[in-house]
Amino acid sequence: MDQPQKMEASLSTLALSLGTQAVIALGLVENPLTKKVEKDRDVARFNIDMLRCLRDKTKGNLSDAEDKLLNGIIHDLQLKFVENT
């Protein structure tokens, strides 16, 4: 019997979690709790701002891969936010 994978706390996991919450708030995927597509621009903006804060506060302390991932998530979410206005 396979053992469940142990979750690892990392900057990448945090960034992906915040990004997922923003995608849900933009109404791009259904909310897994309600099984409905719901839009909440304030929550989406908050999560994008949290990602930007994380990037700004960790500047110079990230690996190249972490920096690329974080900037890519922020860029994609900002575009989606504008498209969904």
Q: Is the pLDDT of residue 60 over 90?
A: yes
Give backbone dihedrals phi and psi of 38, rounded to 5 degrees, phi first: -130, 140
- Asked if residue 15 lies in contact with residue 70, where contact means CB atoms within 8 angstroms, the answer is yes
Q: What is the pTM of this model?
A: 0.88
What pLDDT score was predicted for residue 1?
Answer: 56
Question: Tokens 């506060």 appear where?
Answer: 57
How is residue 30 written in tokens? 């259904």
- Per-residue pLDDT of 15-30, as tens digits, reads 999 999 999 999 999 9
Residues 35-50, mean pLDDT to the nearest whole number: 97
Give the integer Cα–Cα distance in Å for 49 and 78.
10
Give the integer Cα–Cα distance in Å for 54 and 65.
15
Residues 46-75, mean pLDDT to the nearest whole number: 97
Q: Is the dihedral of CA 81, 69, 43, 57 positive or negative?
A: negative
